Amino acid sequence: KAGVTQTPRYLIKTRGQQVTLSCSPISGHRSVSWYQQTPGQGLQFLFEYFSETQRNKGNFPGRFSGRQFSNSRSEMNVSTLELGDSALYLCASSLLAYTEAFFGQGTRLTVV
Amino acid sequence: QKEVEQNSGPLSVPEGAIASLNCTYSDRGSQSFFWYRQYSGKSPELIMSIYSNGDKEDGRFTAQLNKASQYVSLLIRDSQPSDSATYLCAVKGSNTGKLIFGQGTTLQVKP
């Protein structure tokens, strides 16, 4: 069974640009959540989607947005990139909201 | 008070010893509890999940949950150098997919 797939694995962007990250969950999983990991802040929750609906949103500015498609694949978008957005972005999928979450390999974003 | 708290360590144990990792959480409504292992530069890997009070064993790993004390622990028996990593405690609330993580405990297993 294929795991969670995130693309791309690495990105280098310039301040002010925008970026879109993609996540394909484990087949059959309908819950997808996104996290930002930085050395200083640890793993911070961004948002959670279940059956195309955003059910939770973390404490991030509106520049961070996401969506989920009917096939459960999810994307997150960050507009007007700032240096502080440099981080490892992780996607996790769960069969149901409260069950185990499995992470993808992450997308490492560097903003220069 | 942080929602999920862990001792950042490092916790150093000799090879073959038992490593004990602890975690406390603040939300009494929390429903699901997880331990992840993360190697440097890699993504978190799920190693244990526990949903009800008591112990759950899987190979060399035992997770313990005490909801009354809002406490979760992970025991690693016969620790190996390959167990050296950061261990993340994570909690989900009722009917939510949102994982709240502790800051992680760094474990060092010395040969």
Inter-CA distances, B24 with B34, B65, B67, B97, Å: 12, 10, 10, 19
Q: Which residue of A has its CA nearest to B51?
A: A99
- Beta-carbon separation of B97 and A103 below 8 A: no
Question: Over the stretch B80-100, which tens digit does the pLDDT of each residue have?
Answer: 999 999 999 999 987 778 999
Least confident of A2-16, A55-69, B87-101: B87-101
Q: Look at residue A1 in the predicted model and tell me its pLDDT.
A: 65
Q: How far is B43 from chain A (nearest CA, A)?
A: 5
DSSP helix, strand, coil percent of chain A (3-state; round to 5): 5, 55, 45
The separation between CA B15 and the C-alpha centre of its own chain, rounded to angstroms, equals 19
Question: Over the stretch A27-49, which tens digit does the pLDDT of each residue have?
Answer: 999 999 999 999 888 999 999 99
Please indicate if any CB of chain A lies within 8 Å of the CB of B23: no
The arithmetic mean of pLDDT across residues B26-49, rounded, is: 95
Query: Is the distance from CB of A73 to CB of A7 less than 8 angstroms?
Result: no
Please indicate if any CB of chain B lies within 8 Å of the CB of A101: yes
The SS3 call for residue A17 is coil
More confident residue, A82 or B1: A82
Which of A100, A105, A107, A110 to mutate to probe the B interface, most B CBs <10 Å? A100
